[in-house]
Chains A and B, each alone.
Chain A
């Protein structure tokens, strides 16, 4: 009996999945998603000294976007622009435009406190309040007057931060008794409890051990289904593992060595940045050839 190739049983092939595995998330696919942030010609200076110049990029919904670069390149300065944290630093001046869902984040009518409710932030060092685990997570909702269904809200936030199973029987215990990794996930739960739209993470795993780091990274993959995540990281492999888009920042030094300022060198899919970056400076940085 003659059997042709087309007559034989072939396994089910998910070609979209294969494309993603072989090339990473497609840039066009990312850019089709709604823009959460549109940054145009952004510059930040401290007491008249430029720290970051002329940054233009978009952040799209339900993605993880990583900012990488050497110390002093302005990546932390940049992420702080997304929830107006630079407002709290005396002498800091932000120029250019940051649109959040199309609206000017630095507009006169915008309340920075409201901004920070929608755009939560997790810092390098876990910073739980010296209160119970429950009260840490309930803090934000209470401040905002969201008192009904508080238990459910706390439980959901702890679930989403992959911490619930570890703390469900000791919610009244002090948060300071948790391990560093658990404290960081608690801080993530605290940010999630007010139902933000975006979570900014500034070096969220740099103070954690490798296992805790892996849990935070896994968590980012889960969280991006519901939230948009922006992360600053020193760890390039972490950016390679978690981010869909990666922006590489570098330091420009004046010829006389006087002023240093951060610039955006390249912004593309993480696959592109870590396989075939367009700019030599990016290549040198990600390969670790210069640093």
Chain B
């Protein structure tokens, strides 16, 4: 039998590539946001904030492309799963961009305040781990690799642990560091949420590969400490 629906297959490939473009922008934003936070660089923070428009632009283009593709091509089976996975992943990437913007805004508010080097080091590590998770999530999606996707859970646990340590460290801070610390705890939470979104993309990758959707972890029965 000859291969058919060639245009449709091409459109699906382009849609998947659009997700890569968006992920690349989010990675750049996260690198910038983490760097600005760690170095207290308000100028870089401004750049990150402005850069979010670029992410939103790709997000909207992807959203429209999906709408059009659903209306014109009515995909089914693995094609439908791919479109649904892209639809969800697109939103997760856009949210990550928003979280980077929040980190940048917090950086601007606290750039001149006395900080804490232990926490700054933790944020650098969390930012790098977040970038690694985004790359793995996208690789798992492209390679239809449920095992790789599920490995994100372990990396997420490391970010979660760092986030919990931030709170413990904060309680040890001197009073003059407290204002910075209060803003830092929100930034830490943003970095932690970026990891969660990467896990969510991993869940979409596993859905795409296996045909069954399931959450990797169950928030309502999680026995780990909250902070």
Contacts and interface: CB of A to CB of B under 8 A. Distances in A.
Contacts of A277: 77
A290 B77 CA distance: 14
Interface residues of B, number: 17
Interface stretch (A46-54, A87-95, A255-263, A280-288): A280-288
Given A288-B8, A289-B9, A276 B2 contact: no
B4 interface: yes
B76 A276 contact: no
Interface in A40-67: none
Contacts of B81: 275
B77 A276 contact: yes
A149 interface: no
Interface string B67-99: 000000011111111000000000000000000
Given A289-B3, A291-B4, A274 B76 contact: yes
Interface residues of A, number: 15
A44 B198 CA distance: 54
Nearest to A240: B76
Given A275-B211, A276-B211, A287 B2 contact: no
B219 interface: no
B74 A287 contact: no
A237 interface: yes
A287 B211 contact: no
A289 B4 contact: yes
Contacts of A287: 5, 75-79
Contact of B76 (A275, A290, A291): A275
30 contacts: A236-B76, A274-B76, A274-B77, A275-B76, A275-B80, A275-B211, A276-B211, A276-B212, A277-B77, A283-B78, A284-B1, A286-B76, A286-B77, A287-B5, A287-B75, A287-B77, A287-B78, A287-B79, A288-B4, A288-B5, A288-B8, A289-B3, A289-B5, A289-B9, A290-B1, A290-B2, A290-B3, A290-B4, A291-B1, A291-B2
The 4 closest A-B pairs by CB, nearest first: A276-B211, A290-B1, A288-B5, A291-B4
